[in-house]
Structure 1
Amino acid sequence: MIIVELIRDNNQAITGFKTSGHAGVAPRGQDIVCAGVSALVQSAIMGIERHLGRDIELMHDTAGTIKMELIGQPDSLTGAVLETMLLGLNEIAKLYPKSVRIIEHRR
């Protein structure tokens, strides 16, 4: 199962996330659920870092875990990117509830 953990601040803005695990729908390299989650997460990271020019802390490992945290306060643009990522992740989780779980934490 893919676990997506979102971190929200007191204003409900997403300040970071962590993804871990594998969907297990198909063999590695052929799993459309893993590919969909990965595409959404990687696109959000690139949009925030490259397009918006925001500083982030990024960690990823060979097991597929990705962790991203904003450095500094979120703004409306980073919020739009992260909330859009979440919309896509929620749709995948609805279609594959046994393969994707989204957990939100408050700070």
Structure 2
Amino acid sequence: MYTIQANPSGTRSMEISKKNLQTIEKYGLFRHLIDSTGIVDEEVLEKLKWNVRSLIASETENSKDLLDLCIDVIYHNNMKAFGLQQLIKLYISWFKKEEEEDDES
């Protein structure tokens, strides 16, 4: 379990599970999410929400992992643009660590 800061003052946080990170990777949710400015704002969060809704609507199989990600992270009360930026940073560091472990195997 990982913890990310959800606001700049640090008074709110969110718990992120390894399964949440694996779901983000499985569906490539962060690919092409941020435009060339690199700024994560509320519009980027809305774009992510629309992308996930679209995936859930088009899934013919069980999309429990996406639904769990929505409940636990994306639609969490504390999730704002700052929290998404922290989630993206966590995801990048987690993904690099996973790649290193795979290379060692």
Name the TM-score class by shorter chain: 0.3 to 0.5
Q: Which has the higher strand share?
A: 1
TM-score in terms of structure 1 length:
0.33
TM-score by length of 2: 0.33
Greater RCO, CA 8 A, separation 6+:
1
